[in-house]
Structure 1
Amino acid sequence: MGITFRKSIRILPGVRLNINRRSWSVTLGGGAGPRHTYNSRGRRTTSMDLPGPFGYRRTTARRSR
């Protein structure tokens, strides 16, 4: 089993800085509304928890040239 590193730091209410071994990201929002995550590698994710066993997630990756 490999060793993993992951750290999440709350900067302000509704703003988190997430750090792992390969990249970092900033998450905005949450609670009852949508969450927007911006990754250092160019990936953007929008997600939202819905009632029951449902959820929504949309990921957009940076286009390569």
Structure 2
Amino acid sequence: MGLNFRKSFKIAPGVRLNVGKKGISSVSVGGKSARVSVGKKGTRTTISAPGTGLSYSSYKPHKSKVQKQTTQNNLMSSTNSSEPDWIVIGIVGFIILMIFIWVIS
């Protein structure tokens, strides 16, 4: 059993910096109902209904150099481009809207 260390710092309203043994592990943006965390290995998006116990979470790992080259080759050879991840775009838009409403009130 090893010794673990993790600390979270609030650097702005709705923004947290998470630090572990090896340095900065991730940055989280959002509140209780919606949060996007970007870390070294990938991006996690979470939406929840506070007080109900219901939540949805998705994880998207960062692409490696080999995957990026394969994706670029596929995009150059095909005329159809892949659709953007509308869930992530919607969540980011929701977070921006919540921050805007929080600033106004």
Query: What band does the TM-score fall into relative to the shorter chain?
Result: 0.7 to 0.9
> When the two structures are superposed, what TM-score results if normalisation uses the length of structure 2?
0.53
Question: Per-residue deviation at 1:58?
Answer: 0.6
Q: Tell me, in whole angstroms, the C-alpha distance in 2 between the residues paired with 1:30 and 1:59.
A: 18
Please list the CA deviations of residues 28-63 of structure 1 after superposition, one character each: whole Å capped at 9, or x if unmatched. 0113x3100011x24101002225232110110012
- Structure with bigger helix share is 2
- Structure with bigger strand share is 1
Match of 1:16 in 2: 16
Two-structure CA RMSD over aligned residues (Å): 1.6
Q: Tell me, in whole angstroms, the C-alpha distance in 1 between the residues paired with 2:56 and 2:20.
A: 24
Q: Which has the larger radius of gyration?
A: 2
Percent sequence identity over aligned pairs? 33
Corresponding letter in the other structure for 2:2? G
1:58 and 2:58 are equivalent in the alignment: yes
Which is bigger in relative contact order (C-alpha 8 A, separation at least 6)? Answer: 1
> When the two structures are superposed, what TM-score results if normalisation uses the length of structure 1?
0.81
Q: Secondary structure at the match of 1:45?
A: strand
Q: How many residues align?
A: 63
Question: Per-residue deviation at 1:17?
Answer: 0.2
Q: Tell me, in whole angstroms, the C-alpha distance in 1 between the residues paired with 2:52 and 2:8.
A: 26
